[in-house]
């Protein structure tokens, strides 16, 4: 029996249910947190998460484009452009990760 189970059963014996309306194991978004974020609904993602997802998408797409350009024998300028985009996106991800450690 875990500590939480013990408290629940103890509260049941005392005539209290111990439920305060918050369920930390609920799979849906928390009801109180959605109202406290200005401009954010229950499914709103933090701005940093969206940026990180977009950067990873750019990395994957530009690396894939570089690979496709290699197989098709495209011009060197296209390879360089794709490589520069990949390097810049990876660099931005590294900078964000290092700043997030502080």
For the chain, the structural domain boundaries read: 47-102
- Please, what's the largest Cα pairwise distance for the chain? 78
- Using pLDDT thresholds of 50, 70 and 90, give the confidence band for residue 91: very high
Identify which has the larger pLDDT, 41 or 86: 86
Which of 7, 36, 30 has its CA nearest to residue 19? 7
pLDDT for res 34:
46
Tokens of 32: 């109180």
Q: Is 35 exposed, middle or buried (0-12, 13-18, 19+ CB in 10 A)?
A: exposed
Give the length of the chain.
102
DSSP 46: P
Tokens of 39: 């401009």
pLDDT in tens, 41-83: 666 667 778 889 999 999 999 999 999 998 998 898 998 999 9
């Amino acid at each position: 029996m875990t500590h939480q189970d013990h408290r629940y059963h103890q509260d049941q014996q005392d005539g209290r249910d111990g439920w305060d309306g918050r369920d930390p194991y609920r799979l849906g978004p928390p009801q109180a947190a959605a109202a406290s974020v200005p401009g954010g609904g229950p499914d709103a993602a933090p701005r940093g998460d969206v940026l990180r997802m977009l950067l990873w998408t750019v990395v994957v797409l530009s690396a894939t484009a570089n690979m496709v350009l290699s197989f098709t024998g495209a011009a060197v300028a296209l390879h360089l452009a794709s490589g520069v985009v990949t390097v810049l996106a990876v660099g931005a991800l590294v900078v964000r990760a290092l700043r997030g450690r502080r």
